[in-house]
């Protein structure tokens, strides 16, 4: 959506103060642990843009709680697997040889939205050290969430998602659907059937850039909207409007456990 369209479709301007009130009406409180997936444009015009949204979240949650956001870098991966868009096959070896190593301080996110990209640069935010699916955190449990993020099976049992599950935190979907709900990947690791795959990325090892291969499983993100819709039919959650955006506030533990059962029942992938 263009900036002009955003302005034209906004009835009431959003500010840090109005967003603070809206987040509190949604149910956010001081000391909560939340993982946020977001679309800035879905809210409508915000005075201060993504910075205002991040500030409002921090003002509500405070450093007594924890804010987590996925800061993924899907472009740091094997170009042979790229589909959106693909690149010529003759480029593949060049990309593998020259892709800069991931660095948590300065490697930008890809396709995660403006709020995430601003959040990762805020003072006090710490980012996990995974070349493709890092997570950033701010607040009380930043070290617990981000430390020792394994390169293998990076959204599985030793991941920031699993650590967040232990905190019994909540998911905040701001203008996005369950296809953006990364916590459902944790459920994929916990289902009975997984398909092991190999992935590759550029990393820094002892100060030197290296192209490494690591273990993962094949994700089925295309199922997430269906899983989310069925969860919402049978489980309580909060949904309200913040600006123009539909915002959902959901227990991470409940939806992950639901998704594990759903995948074990419906998934025939072997």
Q: What is the pLDDT of residues 152-182, one digit of tens each?
A: 999 999 999 999 999 999 999 999 999 999 9
- For residue 4, give Cα distances in angstroms to 41, 51, 113, 188, 189: 11, 19, 18, 40, 43
3-class DSSP state of 238: strand
State CA 248 to chain mean position distance.
15
Spatial separation of the C-alpha atoms in residues 155 and 182, rounded to whole Å: 9
In this predicted model, what pLDDT tens digit does every residue of 8-59 receive, in sequence order?
Answer: 787 789 999 999 999 999 999 999 999 999 999 999 999 999 999 999 999 9
pLDDT of residue 75: 95
Give the 3-state secondary structure percentages of the chain, helix then strand then coil, rounded to 5.
40, 20, 40
In this predicted model, what pLDDT tens digit does every residue of 59-110 receive, in sequence order?
Answer: 999 999 999 999 999 999 999 999 989 999 999 999 999 999 999 999 999 9
Spatial separation of the C-alpha atoms in residues 270 and 188, rounded to whole Å: 13
Average pLDDT, the chain: 95
Band of the pLDDT at 268, cuts 50, 70, 90? low
Spatial separation of the C-alpha atoms in residues 204 and 214, rounded to whole Å: 14
């Amino acid at each position: 959506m263009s900036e002009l369209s955003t302005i034209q479709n906004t009835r009431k301007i959003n500010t840090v103060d109005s967003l603070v009130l809206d987040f509190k009406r949604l149910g956010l409180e001081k000391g909560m642990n939340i993982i946020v997936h977001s679309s800035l444009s879905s809210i409508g015009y915000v005075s201060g843009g993504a910075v205002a949204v991040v500030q409002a979240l921090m003002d509500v949650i405070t450093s007594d709680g924890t804010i987590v956001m996925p800061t993924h870098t899907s472009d740091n991966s094997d170009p042979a697997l790229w589909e959106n868009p693909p690149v010529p096959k003759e480029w593949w070896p060049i990309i593998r040889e020259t892709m800069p190593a991931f660095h948590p301080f300065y490697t930008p996110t890809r396709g995660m939205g403006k709020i995430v990209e601003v959040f990762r640069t805020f003072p006090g935010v710490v980012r996990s050290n995974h070349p493709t699916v890092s997570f950033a955190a701010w607040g009380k449990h930043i070290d617990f969430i981000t430390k020792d993020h394994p390169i293998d099976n990076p959204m599985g049992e030793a991941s920031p998602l699993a650590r967040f599950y232990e905190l019994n935190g909540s998911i905040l979907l701001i203008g996005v659907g369950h296809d953006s709900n990364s916590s459902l990947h944790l459920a994929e690791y916990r289902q009975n059937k997984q398909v092991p795959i190999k992935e590759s990325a550029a990393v820094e090892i002892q100060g030197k850039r290296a192209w490494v291969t690591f273990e993962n499983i094949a994700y089925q993100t295309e199922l997430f909207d269906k899983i989310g819709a069925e969860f919402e039919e049978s489980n309580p959650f909060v949904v309200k409007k913040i600006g123009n955006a539909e915002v959902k506030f959901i227990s991470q533990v409940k939806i992950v456990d639901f998704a594990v059962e759903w995948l074990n029942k419906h998934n025939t992938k072997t």
